[in-house]
Amino acid sequence: MDIECSRLLPSVCAVLVDPKQFVADDTCLEKLLDWFKTVTEAESSLLVLQENPCLTELLFHVVKLQDVNSNILSFTLRLAGIFAAHENSFQYLQQGEVLLSLFSEAGPLSRPAWEDPSVRSGWIQGVGSMVQHERAVQFLCDCGAIDVIFSLQGDPSLFVASTASQLLVHILGFTMHSRRAVPLTTQDCDWPVCARMIVGHIEESLRSGTVPQITQALNVLTTLFGRCHESWTEVLWMRMNPFVGSLLEKEPLLAAHSLVDLFLSMARSPVFSHLECDLWILSTRALNRLSPTQSGPLALGILNLKDCPQTLRTKAFNILLQPLACVLQAASQPTGSPGLLDESLNDSVITDILLSSKSSCAGLLCQTLAHLEELQPMSHLLIDWPHVPLLSAVMTILRFCSGLATPASSVGDRLCGILIGCFRVQRSALDFLGTLSQGPSPSELIRGVVEILLVYLKSPDSSPTVLKKAFQATLKWLLSLSKTSTSSDLCPQTQHFLRDLFPILQKRLCSPCWEVRDSALEFLTQLTKHWGGRAGFRQALLSSEVPELAEDLLRDPESYVRASAVTAMGQLSSRGLCSNPIGTGSKNDEKKSLFLELLEILSTDSEGFPRRAVIQVFTEWLREGHTDVSKDKEQFVTKVLQVVSCDLDWEVRVQGLELALVFLVQTLGQHETECPYAVEMSSVTQSTQLTESLQMLCHMKLFDFIFSALCDCDRPVARKSCDILLYLKAKLAHHGSLQGSGEACTESLGTQNTAWLETTLRKWKARDQGQPSEVADRGDCQEPDDVLEVLRSVDLEGLRGTLAKSSDHIEKSPQSLLQDMLATVGILEENEADCY
């Protein structure tokens, strides 16, 4: 702890214990605790206590105060816990029995303040911090704290109850870990006292027959088996097994979700993952007993395991497939396609759920689809992943939802009535359909997929969220189709799809809903990115009005759409797929017109998103050597930076610097590498080239932009500028250009800050303004020497270190926190309840 903090601490403690004073901002107390935690971890906590007696006094004082503010009491409990975590501090505090007064039943438990959940939370967190050594555990057992923790498991506050359960796990784990050497049996006498108490409590809870208690006990076991993988947990399970097993026999089944969590937590533990473990029997029994919505997560968890008995996996997989099998069966004609499951379905329960109400039907289907979607990437591990029937099932669901299906059975009829227009199921089904693009699908089914996707993309009833998913699924299918085709161009099926797709895309680009226009543009960008070079795609695109419509959207009233249109147009232009503006002449002019249009957006758009998109497109064009940009790179960069330098959005300025960096690298070459085999040019040639390059860069006013960015009030801009200048410095130093000519230069080497730079920049400006107008017009505001002087003088390395810190690192320091707490007392009371 630094001296200044030590000096401030007594006053802060005095404020905290003074009931007349008021600490307005409870975040201060939280941050103060964060700091104490750091301090006690970094140095001896006992020394901190001894050197700052105000801390112990604070604890004593709060213990004695009868009418203490609950926030302060809670803070004190947590503070005591942080110090008591270290054995010597624990003993130190115990000498005065302060811990007993805080954590035993005679402490806050008996006070009215205990009614406040923040106090109970403070108590339990304090205890939690403390349990780092055996003495603390012994202390908790002796003072009755363990029983308090048991009772807090049922606390009305979720936060307290959950922390209490986690604390029991921590204490049990800690106690057993320290007894590792002693062999263990299920006999009670073998277990340490504290562990015996906890295990006894869990057993009692499991026997209780009341749902909250059973849930608490199961949650403790779940967390324990999840966190602790030591061998004693197996002995513990031997004790728990009969109780848990009997829960599975109960009618109705209690705490089903918690049972699922327990089995999955155990299944993931290496202690229980061997194939002889009775866990698998229980899991199988659970799969039989649980309702379809409850068994889904268990089945998914089992299938995600690396090792488990094959019969269980098969059962789990069948459970996941059942709802979809039911849908397929409901839809199928008597002589229809094969179902999802070979075995005869005992589907009455599932049918009941699917037909009982819209929400239960949607709930079960969405859950199943999401689970299968999660499994799909592992489908190669599942021997019998029924790709084709699953595809049929999801398409059936999508047909039901859109009212396209003509089910043959009465169940299908009713299902269709329930699902029609259900956006929730449509979204899940489209997500899963997209995922199924990864797999071998027969061509007649692909035709079906294409048809259904077109239906959704075309449907006027599709909501924007459904349309977005439809676009995403379409993209996945299109890309997978191109992967399977062997030729370099698109297969006829895809060509056909595209022919149908573009008119729909045109319509969607004109949607009155901005979300739809935006999703359509994003889709176009992605498709162009992947297929921009394929003749079939180019032909289909250019024969549609899509490029013109996309260009029109550059003037969309919604900024998000303008930004997406910019990105799309940037991509189209890169691939030479730009539209022909009406009434323009040569191709050359067309490209220029897009550049000017984007430049216009960059300089005038009132919002950041489109401007950011433009500068990103420009950077990309420069990076990839867009033909039109390459013609006159200098002019392109100069024009863009001229606009960017005035931008109010710092992200645009940062991206502008990125563009400058790309240009610099293209002009001066990559960062220096120490490649021994590199062909070196003669130093004279290089030096001449560098001087010429510098002249050119000065002429472009590139350094104006970079230097003023170094003084920018927005940290990321200054940081980026600093990085560029360091690159330049390294580049120039390598070739000796930075070696000063006089003594004065070496003296000021790397010592100046940005204030000096600002003054220098102002000086240059004044100098330029004083020059004859023709010189100023030429733009020679700086000479290479000026640039070299800046690079020589400014302490760029130091600056980089400063800029790497957060801009509020001083305000965030502990010293600042303590000062704020002292300054705030009584003053901010009036403002405390204000909000943003």
Partner 1 sequence: MPEIKVTPLGAGQDVGRSCILVSIAGKNVMLDCGMHMGYNDDRRFPDFSYITQNGRLTDFLDCVIISHFHLDHCGALPYFSEMVGYDGPIYMTHPTKAICPILLEDYRKITVDKKGETNFFTSQMIKDCMKKVVAVHLHQTVQVDDELEIKAYYAGHVLGAAMFQIKVGSESAVYTGDYNMTPDRHLGAAWIDKCRPNLLITESTYATTIRDSKRCRERDFLKKVHETVERGGKVLIPVFALGRAQELCILLETFWERMNLKAPIYFSTGLTEKANHYYKLFITWTNQKIRKTFVQRNMFEFKHIKAFDRAFADNPGPMVVFATPGMLHAGQSLQIFRKWAGNEKNMVIMPGYCVQGTVGHKILSGQRKLEMEGRQILEVKMQVEYMSFSAHADAKGIMQLVRQAEPDNVLLVHGEAKKMEFLKQKIEQEFHVNCYMPANGETVTLLTHPNIPVGISLGLLKREMALGLLPDAKRPKLMHGTLIMKDNNFRLVSSEQALKELGLAEHQLRFTCRVHIHDTRKEQETVLRVYSHLKSVLKAHSVQHLPDGSVMVESILIQATAHSEDPGTKVLLVSWTYQDEELGSYLTSLLKKGLPQAPS
Q: Which residues pair with 752 in a beta bridge?
A: 794
- Binding to partner 1 in span 412-441, by CB under 8 A: 424, 427
* CA distance readout (Å), 505 to 527, 543, 687: 12, 13, 55
**CB of 695: closest distance to partner 1 in angstroms?**
28
- Torsion angles phi and psi, residue 463, rounded to 5: -80, 160
CA-wise closest residue to 163 among 206, 207, 131, 189: 131
Query: What span, in angstroms and rounded, lies between the C-alpha atoms of 19 and 17?
Result: 6
**CB of 816: closest distance to partner 1 in angstroms?**
7
Residue 519 found at the interface with partner 1 (CB under 8 A): yes
Among residues 255 and 668, whose Cβ is nearest to partner 1? 255
Look-up: residue for tokens 């993952």? 273
Residue 160 found at the interface with partner 1 (CB under 8 A): yes
Distance from the Cα of residue 689 to its chain's centroid? 46
Among 20, 66, 158, 270, binds partner 1 (CB under 8 A): 158
Among 64, 66, 67, 156, binds partner 1 (CB under 8 A): 156
- Binding to partner 1 in span 591-610, by CB under 8 A: 606-609
Among residues 59 and 300, whose Cβ is nearest to partner 1? 300
Residues present in the chain in total: 836
- Binding to partner 1 in span 688-727, by CB under 8 A: 713-716, 719
Look-up: residue for tokens 């997929």? 449
Among 275, 535, 730, 810, binds partner 1 (CB under 8 A): 810
Residue 403 found at the interface with partner 1 (CB under 8 A): no
- Binding to partner 1 in span 757-786, by CB under 8 A: none
Q: How many CB atoms lie within 10 A of CB 538?
A: 17
409 Cβ contact partners less than 8 Å away, ≥ 6 residues apart: 329, 330, 331, 332
- Binding to partner 1 in span 211-250, by CB under 8 A: 219
Among residues 378 and 823, whose Cβ is nearest to partner 1? 823
Residue 26 found at the interface with partner 1 (CB under 8 A): yes
Q: Is the torsion defined by CA of 707, 710, 712, 716 positive or negative?
A: positive
- Binding to partner 1 in span 449-468, by CB under 8 A: 464-465, 468
**Torsion angle of the four alpha carbons 647, 652, 658, 663, in this order, in degrees rounded to the nearest 10:** -50
Residue 802 found at the interface with partner 1 (CB under 8 A): yes
Query: What span, in angstroms and rounded, lies between the C-alpha atoms of 526 and 178?
Result: 57
Among residues 28 and 176, whose Cβ is nearest to partner 1? 28
**CB of 810: closest distance to partner 1 in angstroms?**
6
Query: What span, in angstroms and rounded, lies between the C-alpha atoms of 140 and 733?
Result: 66
Task: Find out whether 568 and 618 touch, Cβ atoms under 8 Å.
Answer: no
**CB of 258: closest distance to partner 1 in angstroms?**
8
CA atoms within 13 Å, Cβ hemisphere of 493: 18
Task: Find out whether 395 and 449 touch, Cβ atoms under 8 Å.
Answer: yes
- Binding to partner 1 in span 249-308, by CB under 8 A: 257-258, 260-261, 297
Q: Is 31 exposed, middle or buried (0-12, 13-18, 19+ CB in 10 A)?
A: middle
Residue 744 found at the interface with partner 1 (CB under 8 A): no
Among residues 261 and 789, whose Cβ is nearest to partner 1? 261
Task: Find out whether 510 and 471 touch, Cβ atoms under 8 Å.
Answer: no
Residue 650 found at the interface with partner 1 (CB under 8 A): yes
Residue 511 found at the interface with partner 1 (CB under 8 A): no
**CB of 324: closest distance to partner 1 in angstroms?**
16
ω before 252 within 30° of 0 (cis)? Answer: yes
Residue 512 found at the interface with partner 1 (CB under 8 A): no
Q: How many CB atoms lie within 10 A of CB 338?
A: 12
**CB of 668: closest distance to partner 1 in angstroms?**
27
Among 27, 66, 487, 682, binds partner 1 (CB under 8 A): 27
What x/- string results for residues 521 through 560 when contact with partner 1 is judged by CB under 8 A?
Answer: --------------------------------------xx
Among 231, 291, 333, 357, binds partner 1 (CB under 8 A): 357
Among 61, 612, 701, 731, binds partner 1 (CB under 8 A): 612
Residue 125 found at the interface with partner 1 (CB under 8 A): no
Residue 373 found at the interface with partner 1 (CB under 8 A): no
496 Cβ contact partners less than 8 Å away, ≥ 6 residues apart: none
Residue 649 found at the interface with partner 1 (CB under 8 A): yes
